[in-house]
Structure 1
Amino acid sequence: MLRRPATGGDTSSPYVAVGAHESWSARTPLPWRLALLTFAVVAFAVGAVTFLAYWSVSLSINARVDRELDRKANAVLENLVDPLYLINLEWEIQHFKEYSPGTRLAVSPPGWSFVRGDAIPLDGTFRETAEGVSTVVHAVGGERVLLKSDGVGGMVILAQDMSGAHEQIASLGAVLLVIALLGILLAVASGLVVATAGLKPLQRLQRAVDHIADTDELRPIAVYGNDTLAQLTRSFNAMLATLQESRRRQTELVADAGHELKTPLTSMRTNIELLMMLNREGAAGRITEQDHRDLERDVLAQMTEMSALIGDLVELAREDTPDTVWESVELGEAICSSLERVRRRRSDVDFEVTLLPWELSGEQFALNRAVVNLLDNAAKWSPPEGVVRVAMRQLADDRVELTVADSGPGIRPEDRERVFERFYRSPENRSQPGSGLGLAIVKQTLERHGGAIRVSESDDGGTRMIVELPGRRSAGDPGE
């Protein structure tokens, strides 16, 4: 997809590729992303467990060696206070090494200034205890060295060869590494299996959506289970139902509009063709001047009817788009300005008006149009010298009632709900002028502003339109 940037001082390429810089994760299929995410999580967990196992086993082996060296050192220290042990010190050292293979020994009895036994390198510092015993453990040249002294000057140095322990630790590390690699491979395979199995419902939903896009059939999608994906499918079905209803209404509007436009267009074409014939050479005098003027008036009236019908269709097709300007509307002022227009058309009808100062948030033009339609409808069906009664009554702090009652023939109870349908006109009123869209526009406008409308009978047998609207009482003068 290409998007053309705004013109001006930009010297870059005239087109920008949307999505050219998408991240790798956005380009990777969802199953692979889930598999890689599973792999990453499992690999981290396996690696952490492997490291902790290796580290804990190493510490455990070293701690076990240290405890064994400490036990042997304590035994030698106890023997250093025995004179017989000291007399046979060389033999005792050799005897100790025979029973402790891999361990070297050096001792310094109390009061001695030299060390007997093996030459063991020392490193580290002593740690004094409360009993006066000093101990230090360190590793030197592949050996674990322990030095321990008692409180009377005796000292023992033990060096344990750690090559065997290191081989055990290395073997353990190799085994753990193999286990970790196998676990990671198993995690990758499991991730692919889980992703494939888990995304099957989503793939089924995708196929259903693709079928709708390809065939334009807005049929509901089958719902399986009650999980999150099932809820998503239900929401999608609700969207399809709304779209289907919108399409149905659009189709009906086009069909009804075509039907309603056909009659005035045919009549107007016939009258225009007749006028054209009369204006040809030699056609003068075929009709009287009065008939000629009547034809012209008919054409103008039909054009006016066509213009009004098209305006009603446009108003009916309008939606409450985001760019619609909502402002504070004074309902009383809107009624007064509408009354002026209606009175000019029906000067033979009296209007009794009782208004309240009422303010609401809405679209000024649409509300004015709805009020004009209500008053026009009441004036049209009222006989000469009839009365149209307009009254406002506050129902609550945030609710007002507007009634428009006429002196006309009224609406039958079975037709009172249908009068708000598009293009509906009762059989006995189909010969009257009008498109049947006025009250449909009124109802749509009121509902868009949070209001409602219903029909009842007026006190003198005519029609009473009862409108409820939100808002609040204002301090201004309604004007009437």
Structure 2
Amino acid sequence: MSLRWRLALLSATLVAFAVGVITVAAYWSVSSYVTNSIDRDLEKQADAMLGRASEAGFYATAETEIALLGEYASDTRIALIPPGWEYVIGESISLPDSDFLKSKEAGKQILVTSAERILMKRDSSGTVVVFAKDMVDTDRQLTVLGVILLIIGGSGVLASILLGFIIAKEGLKPLSKLQRAVEEIERTDELRAIPVVGNDEFAKLTRSFNDMLKALRESRTRQSQLVADAGHELKTPLTSMRTNIELLLMATNSGGSGIPKEELDGLQRDVLAQMTEMSDLIGDLVDLAREETAETSSIVDLNQVLEIALDRMESRRMTVRIDVSETVDWKLLGDDFSLTRALVNVLDNAIKWSPENGIVRVSMSQIDKATVRIVIDDSGPGIAEKERGLVLERFYRAVSSRSMPGSGLGLAIVNQVVNRHGGQLVVGESDDGGTRITIDLPGEPIRSGFENVDD
């Protein structure tokens, strides 16, 4: 069943319940009012009759007065039982089982038969008066009233179904519009934003859907850009490698004649270097794609991550010294593998650009209660101020580094890792003119040294 029909039937059910309650309450109220009115009228007539019975000389004309009263109220039968009499004045009224006539105390009782409503009342002298009201016409009128209320209620339910369907149709128009927009996107594969009208729940749903479309467009753009950039970056080393391999094949087929041994050795070294460059580039592309889909999911000891990164750099130091001046015990929610790789990339760049016997300076300090800062300085040539923001983009390489091997993805990957962890990376200048990489990350200090960070 569609949502439109469910809403229409739900509203009809609620209306039917309300109409049913109101119909029953109305019928009960009218019926009670009518019977109470009849009882009050009968009691007034009984009081009047008992009052006349207490007057002297009443019984001489009692039959005549009761007969006249019976003619006036043709739907009512009247009987009078004087105290101590076995003779009944007026109509002979058959009473249902009742002990009222056996009692001697003053009071009243109302009896109901299939066709009459009977009131019996006794005064203090013991005189009993009986009024029997014919209820056939009254019951017929109440039955007609009940049928009319039932018809009105049923008509109300049918009208509520129709109105509920109309209201559901009008109310769900924005949802139908959103559905058509989604079907259009599925058909055309165009991630166009849907116009937002109003500020109700459907408008909020449309805004959320537009935000999702925006994220999909950005993801698709990044994917297309990555493929285009990767194709562009892979084209040059592939072309060069192909040329060198063709030369090597030619030399092999000709027995090595015509090409000096030094040039053959150079070609082989070029091919190996280009293969290494290709391997590094493909690895960086894989890392970049992995970072776009990675999720932070565990508590990370940042000091331990830094120590692991420093240990991995031991074999790459060569003549460059790494000086760690300060660290703090810090934990954050993140991915220890990605953070380790990011710090390894930064340290590797710092070592690569530092001169022989140079120093790479590393420090980690807390700058406020929820932020830690890692600073890595090298002693290299540095990065021009106008290029410091550009080196964080994919495949961009500073002018001074274009003659060196590399893909231009290292700092882009590091920046992506830092951003994914809610941090910030800034490229600046070190105290001795080299490059300074500043990484700010969120988290909190570990209060008792290298304790279990999950506690």
In 2, the alpha carbon distance for the partners of 1:328 and 1:48 equals 60
In 2, the alpha carbon distance for the partners of 1:73 and 1:67 equals 10
Q: TM-score under structure 2 normalisation?
A: 0.91
Structure-2 residue corresponding to 1:335: 306
Q: Secondary structure at the match of 2:166?
A: helix
Q: Secondary structure at the match of 2:367?
A: strand
Q: Shift of the alpha carbon at 1:172? A: 1.2
Question: Does 2:228 align with 1:293?
Answer: no
Contact preservation (8 Å) 1:332, 1:355: no
Tell me the amino acid that sits aligned with residue 141 of structure 1: S
Question: Does 2:23 align with 1:50?
Answer: yes
Tell me the amino acid that sits aligned with residue 378 of structure 1: A
Instruction: Give RMSD over aligned pairs.
Output: 2.4
Structure-1 residue corresponding to 2:449: 475
Q: Secondary structure at the match of 1:174?
A: helix
- Cα–Cα, structure 1 residues 326 and 409, in superposed 2: closer, same or farther, change >3 Å? same
Structure-2 residue corresponding to 1:14: none
Contact preservation (8 Å) 1:144, 1:159: yes
Q: Shift of the alpha carbon at 1:427? A: 3.4
Q: Shift of the alpha carbon at 1:462? A: 0.9
Structure-1 residue corresponding to 2:198: 225
1:363 equivalent among 335, 343, 358: 335
- Cα–Cα, structure 1 residues 81 and 332, in superposed 2: closer, same or farther, change >3 Å? closer
Structure-1 residue corresponding to 2:404: 432
Structure-2 residue corresponding to 1:189: 162
Contact preservation (8 Å) 1:330, 1:358: yes
Tell me the amino acid that sits aligned with residue 430 of structure 2: S
Contact preservation (8 Å) 1:391, 1:403: yes
Structure-2 residue corresponding to 1:36: 9
2:392 equivalent among 395, 399, 420: 420
Tell me the amino acid that sits aligned with residue 250 of structure 1: Q
Contact preservation (8 Å) 2:328, 2:366: no
Q: Shift of the alpha carbon at 1:56? A: 1.1
- Cα–Cα, structure 1 residues 30 and 430, in superposed 2: closer, same or farther, change >3 Å? same
In 2, the alpha carbon distance for the partners of 1:182 and 1:351 equals 89
Contact preservation (8 Å) 2:291, 2:417: no
Structure-2 residue corresponding to 1:253: 226
Tell me the amino acid that sits aligned with residue 475 of structure 1: G
Contact preservation (8 Å) 2:390, 2:396: yes
- For structure 2, the residue ranges without an aligned partner over 5 or more in a row are none
Q: Secondary structure at the match of 2:313?
A: helix
Question: Does 2:421 align with 1:449?
Answer: yes
Structure-2 residue corresponding to 1:388: 360
Q: Shift of the alpha carbon at 1:134? A: 1.2
Provide the identity percentage.
Answer: 49
Structure-1 residue corresponding to 2:120: 147
Contact preservation (8 Å) 2:328, 2:364: no
Question: Does 2:435 align with 1:460?
Answer: no
Contact preservation (8 Å) 1:366, 1:445: yes
- Cα–Cα, structure 1 residues 236 and 176, in superposed 2: closer, same or farther, change >3 Å? same
Structure-2 residue corresponding to 1:268: 241
Q: Shift of the alpha carbon at 1:160? A: 0.2
In 1, the alpha carbon distance for the partners of 2:322 and 2:85 equals 132
Aligned residues: 446
Q: TM-score under structure 1 normalisation?
A: 0.87
Structure-1 residue corresponding to 2:89: 116
Tell me the amino acid that sits aligned with residue 353 of structure 1: V
Structure-1 residue corresponding to 2:347: 375
Contact preservation (8 Å) 1:145, 1:157: yes
Q: Shift of the alpha carbon at 1:428? A: 3.9
Structure-1 residue corresponding to 2:149: 176
| Deviations, residues 423-469 of structure 1 (Å, cap 9, x unaligned) | 11123432221111111111111222232211211111111111112
In 1, the alpha carbon distance for the partners of 2:222 and 2:301 equals 33
| Deviations, residues 216-259 of structure 1 (Å, cap 9, x unaligned) | 11111112122221222122112211111111111111100111
| Deviations, residues 461-480 of structure 1 (Å, cap 9, x unaligned) | 11111111234245149xxx
